[in-house]
Chain A
Amino acid sequence: AQSVTQLGSHVSVSEGALVLLRCNYSSSVPPYLFWYVQYPNQGLQLLLKYTSAATLVKGINGFEAEFKKSETSFHLTKPSAHMSDAAEYFCAVNQKEDYKLSFGAGTTVTVRA
C-alpha cells in the first residue's frame, strides 16, 4: 500500500517568513502527488499537483512544491507567510493504475503576527 509521511504535525511561522512543509512517499514508481489545504470547518481544496510534467509545481495562493525522485519527496513551500495561510495541509498520492488517494496525517500551520 502507498504510504505518505508528513514530518511535523504542527508548524508555527511568523508572518512574512518562509513556510516549509515536508512530505515523503514510499513508492518505487513515482506516483501522482498532491497537496490539499483545509481551512477551519471547511472541506479540502486542491493546492497543487505533480503529474511528471515539471518537477517544480506552482499552485494557488503563492505555494509551490518540488518533486525530488531521489529523495521520494514533494515538499511544499511559500516564501512569505500570510495570516490567511493558517490551515491544515495534507499531502496525498495515488498510483497511476488506480484513482485511490492515500493521505498523510496532515500539518497544521499557525501564523504569528
Chain B
Amino acid sequence: NAGVTQTPKFQVLKTGQSMTLQCAQDMNHNSMYWYRQDPGMGLRLIYYSASEGTTDKGEVPNGYNVSRLNKREFSLRLESAAPSQTSVYFCATPLGTRAAGYTFGSGTRLTVV
C-alpha cells in the first residue's frame, strides 16, 4: 500500500468516545477519500476531498467529520462513537489520472463496544 499511510491500525472505543483517524499520502494528488468496509457491503464512501480546503459528503457521512489539513493529510473524526461504526476504514488517493484507479492505505480496524 505504498503512498498512503493510516494510523492507527487497530482501535477499540467505548460508545460515546471520540477519536480521529489519520491519513497521509505522498502521491501528491489533490483528491483523497475515506471509505468504510462492512461484510457483504463492499466499500462505501464516507467523505472525500477533491482538493485542499474542500470536503464533500459521500454515501454514508452521518456520524463523521473530516478535515483536509493540507494536501497530504485528510483526517476522519468520530465525535461520539456508536456500535454501528464498528468497521474497517480505508483512506485512498488516486494513482494519477481517473483511469489509473486508487491506492489504499492498509486500513484501521475499529471496534465500538
What sequence of 0s and 1s flags, for each residue 37-76 of chain B, a beta carbon within 8 Å of any chain A beta carbon?
0001111110010100000001000000000000000000
List the count of A-B residue pairs having beta carbons below 8 Å apart: 61
Q: How big is chain B's contact interface, by range?
A: 20 to 34
List the A residue with the shortest CB-CB distance to B29.
Answer: A99
Residues of B within 8 A of A104 (CB): 42
**A49-B99, A49-B101 in contact; A43/B43 too (CB < 8 A)?**
no
Residues of B within 8 A of A102 (CB): 45
Residues of A within 8 A of B95 (CB): 46
Contact B107 A43 (CB under 8 A): yes
Partner of B101, one of A4, A46, A105: A46
Q: Does A94 contact B (CB under 8 A)?
A: yes
Residues of B within 8 A of A44 (CB): 43, 90, 102, 104
Q: How big is chain A's contact interface, by range?
A: 20 to 34
Residues of B within 8 A of A51 (CB): 99
**A43-B90, A44-B104, A105-B42 in contact; A32/B31 too (CB < 8 A)?**
no
A42 vs B90: C-alpha distance when bound (angstroms): 11
A95 vs B36: C-alpha distance when bound (angstroms): 21
Residues of A within 8 A of B100 (CB): 49
Interface residues of chain B, those whose CB is within 8 Å of chain A, are: 1, 31, 33, 35, 40-45, 48, 50, 58, 90, 92, 94-95, 98-107
